[in-house]
Amino acid sequence: MAAKTHQDLGFNFAVRQNDEVAIFYRQRLAAILRGRAAEQFVAQADALPDTALQQTMARVTGNYKRGNERTAADHPRNRLR
């Protein structure tokens, strides 16, 4: 296993035989891209450095920080009872 850097967000992907792209987050399936979305992703992935590719996979899966984590923790709905 490669050394983990601060830029490694835990994403990787695999292109399947039927031209689907499976994106994994910490070895669990996070998203499957099909058709045009899969083609565009593979074209981008070939041109991007590893850190930018990690960010792209995070955005594609919707698994990325939005900047509101602290304020959401203070919301009454999210407080522990």
pLDDT in tens, 26-64: 999 999 999 999 999 999 999 999 989 998 998 898 866
Q: How would you class 66 by CB atoms within 10 Å of its CB: exposed for 0-12, middle for 13-18, buried for 19 or more?
A: exposed
Start-end of H helices in the chain: 35-47, 50-61, 69-73
pTM of the model: 0.70
Residue 13's nearest CA partner among 40, 35, 45 is: 45
**CA 39 – CA 11 distance, rounded (Å):** 18
**CA 28 – CA 68 distance, rounded (Å):** 25
